[in-house]
């Protein structure tokens, strides 16, 4: 089996999920793929680190929402991934169009590209079993098959799709034809599938030649492929950052790869994955993969538990204590706390929909909000005032902007700030301050080698983030 160790995949990482069922840790501006759940790396970072086991080349393609491009690029850079191609989706159109965009871009530099498609937000045990599965998939994909990976089910889960495996196929041991796909089943049907045997959980990972995938899409979803081709032809960028054309991509039909391609493909193969896997889509599944104490409790942060069993407690800002709890989830953040029974994990999506109706900002972002230049933390807010702590990375610069409804006071806590205030430019250092009048065009940058921390005091009749008129921005947000 020596030849199984030689594949060279072009990795495609799908990074567009919202992760709403992991609220309040996962928010729209920082969804679950960018947060750390089971170790010190985010789910995206662990996905990138797994590419070594796939023997993928060093140019992964990452398809993500335009608003997440800075955090995606920064997290990749933090773990040493320097050569990354970002494809930016102006709107969500599900997995089939996203993969089509990646396949078309990959073929521009390699007409024989073999793609390994992976979600960015799953937990997957790395090791020899995974390497063998990837290597087997490369051979099948190279022979023209469309390949998916099936996880041996350990329980009658209703939150996963299922794949029925058929007869073995020629090639690496374990590969089998796909007989049929079963959408997320009822509890009764899921138990029946496990009792019958021969079924796998659909992992959401795929391997195929780029040209084979596009041919399948041309055959089964030609309107989708035409729209994606147009979005690329009228898009802009290079092989480090490419923005799909908004109008063309918005006109693209929305569908998953399972419905658009996999269910129709004649040469569809499933490779069994004999390693631990979870899509960590709910808090009970996060508890399932976590390290637990003798009482079955999984805790993170400053947590004290008495007479409590089989609980998940995640504290990020404050000490959390419990007494006499069973099968309870407690997730504490700076601005929201979730308390629920583990069996209700699937119901969070409905709660998030209620928040949208109520226009609650807690579903959009955390109190600490990431920006390409750094981050800000809304420390306090009251009638006609708001206080923020702002951290600007070395070399970072806020956009040139003005506000119609608020004035701002800036106090430098540490570092050096270069201030642009109307037609004046000056430096401020620790314990110095300045005033930005309402309606004045202003900007701020960190010219130093250490982070710049300032306190911003806003005052005015309206303090919303949409009261920003940008004139110039080094990050292209105008």
Q: Is the pLDDT of residue 426 over 90?
A: yes
pLDDT digits (tens, 9 = 90+) for 203-221: 999 999 999 999 999 999 9
pLDDT at 478: 66
Q: pLDDT above 90 covers what percent of the chain?
A: 77
Judge whether residue 7 has pLDDT over 80. Answer: no
- Dist CA 478 CA 472 (whole Å): 6
| Domains in the chain: ranges and CATH | 2-278 (3.90.550.10), 283-347 (no CATH), 368-472 (2.60.120.10)
* Each residue's pLDDT tens digit, 62-96: 999 988 999 999 999 999 988 899 999 999 999 99
pLDDT over threshold 70, residue 398:
yes
Relative to beta strand 236-237, strand 337-341 is: unpaired
pLDDT at 1 over 50: no
In sequence order, what are the residues at sequence separation of 6 or more whose Cβ sits closer than 8 angstroms to the Cβ of residue 467? 403, 404, 405, 406
235-266 confidence digits (pLDDT tens): 999 888 999 999 999 999 999 999 999 999 98
pLDDT value, residue 155: 87
Per-residue pLDDT at 127: 86
Per-residue pLDDT, 154:
87
pLDDT at 186 over 60: yes
* DSSP β-ladder status, 61-65 and 85-89: parallel
What element of type H or E holds 147? strand 146-151
430-456 pLDDT, tens digit per residue, is 999 999 999 999 999 999 999 999 999
pLDDT at residue 4 tops 90: no
| pLDDT the model gives residue 6 | 47
Whole-number pLDDT of residue 5: 45
- Does 3 score more than 80 pLDDT? no
- Coil vs helix vs strand at 452: strand
- Count of residues in the chain: 478
Q: Where does the pLDDT of residue 126 fall: very low under 50, low under 70, confident under 90, or very high at 90 and above? A: confident
pLDDT tens digits, one per residue of 134-163: 999 999 999 999 999 999 898 888 888 999
User: For residues 99 and 117, is the Cβ–Cβ distance under 8 A?
Assistant: yes
For residue range 467-478, what is the model confidence (pLDDT) as tens digits?
999 999 888 776
Of the ranges 167-176, 270-279, 326-335, 359-368, which one carries the lowest mean pLDDT score?
A: 167-176
Q: Per-residue pLDDT for 413 more than 70? A: yes
Mean pLDDT of 90-111: 95
Average pLDDT over residues 320-328: 97
Q: Are 208 and 146 in contact (CB under 8 A)?
A: yes
Alpha helices by DSSP H, listed for 143-296, are: 187-196, 210-220, 222-233, 246-250, 257, 283-289
Is residue 124 classed as helix, strand or coil in its secondary structure? strand
- Secondary structure (3-state) at 201: strand
Q: State the pTM of this model.
A: 0.87
Mean pLDDT, the chain, whole residue set: 92
pLDDT of residue 53 exceeding 80, the answer is no
Query: Does residue 21 have a pLDDT over 50?
Result: yes
- Cα 208 to its chain centre, rounded Å, is 23
Say which residues have a Cβ less than 8 Å from residue 49's Cβ, sequence separation at least 6. 41, 79, 126
Which of 212, 152, 202 is CA-nearest to residue 178?
202
Model confidence at 461: pLDDT above 90: yes
Instruction: Give residue-wise pLDDT tens across range 347-390.
Output: 999 999 999 999 998 998 898 988 999 999 999 999 999 999 99
């Amino acid at each position: 089996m020596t030849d199984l160790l030689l594949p060279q995949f072009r990795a495609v990482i799908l990074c567009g999920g919202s992760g709403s069922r992991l609220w309040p840790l996962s928010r729209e501006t920082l969804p679950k793929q960018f947060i750390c759940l089971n170790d010190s790396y985010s789910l995206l970072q662990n996905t990138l680190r797994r590419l070594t086991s796939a023997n993928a080349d060093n140019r992964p393609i990452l398809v993500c929402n335009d608003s997440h491009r800075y955090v995606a690029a920064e997290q990749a850079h933090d773990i040493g991934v320097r050569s990354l191609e970002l494809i930016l989706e102006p709107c969500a159109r599900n997995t089939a169009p996203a993969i089509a965009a990646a396949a078309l871009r990959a073929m521009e530099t390699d007409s024989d590209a073999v793609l390994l498609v992976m979600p960015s937000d799953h937990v997957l045990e790395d090791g020899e079993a995974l390497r063998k599965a990837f290597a087997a998939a490369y051979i099948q994909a190279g022979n023209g098959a469309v390949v998916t990976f099936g996880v041996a089910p350990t329980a009658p889960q209703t939150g996963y799709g299922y794949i029925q495996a058929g007869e073995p196929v020629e090639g690496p041991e374990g590969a089998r034809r796909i007989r049929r796909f079963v959408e997320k089943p009822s509890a009764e049907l899921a138990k029946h599938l496990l009792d019958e045997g021969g079924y796998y959980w659909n992992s959401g990972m795929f391997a195929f030649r780029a040209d084979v995938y596009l041919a399948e899409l041309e055959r089964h979803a030609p309107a989708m492929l035409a729209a994606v081709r147009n979005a690329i032809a009228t898009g802009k960028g290079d092989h480090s950052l490419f923005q799909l054309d908004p109008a063309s991509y918005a006109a693209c039909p929305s569908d998953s790869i399972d419905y658009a391609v996999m269910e129709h493909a004649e040469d569809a193969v499933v490779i069994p994955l004999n390693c631990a896997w979870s899509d960590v889509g709910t808090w009970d599944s996060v508890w399932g993969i976590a390290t637990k104490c003798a009482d079955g409790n999984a805790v993170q942060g400053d947590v004290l538990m008495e007479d409590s069993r089989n609980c998940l407690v995640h504290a990020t800002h404050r000490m959390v204590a419990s007494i006499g709890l069973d099968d309870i989830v407690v997730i504490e953040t700076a601005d929201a706390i979730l308390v629920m029974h583990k069996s209700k994990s699937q119901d969070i999506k409905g709660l998030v929909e209620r928040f949208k109706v109520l226009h609650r900002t807690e579903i959009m972002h955390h109190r600490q909000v990431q920006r390409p230049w750094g981050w800000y933390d809304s420390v306090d807010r009251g009638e006609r005032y708001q206080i923020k702590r702002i951290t600007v990375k070395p070399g970072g610069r806020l956009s040139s902007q003005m506000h119609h409804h608020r004035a701002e006071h800036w106090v430098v806590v540490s570092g050096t700030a270069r201030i642009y205030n109307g037609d004046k430019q000056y430096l401020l250092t620790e314990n110095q301050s300045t005033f930005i009048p309402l309606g004045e065009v202003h900007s701020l940058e960190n010219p130093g080698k250490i982070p710049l921390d300032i306190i911003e005091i806003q005052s005015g009749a309206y303090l919303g983030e949409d009261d920003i008129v940008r004139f110039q921005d080094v990050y292209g947000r105008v």
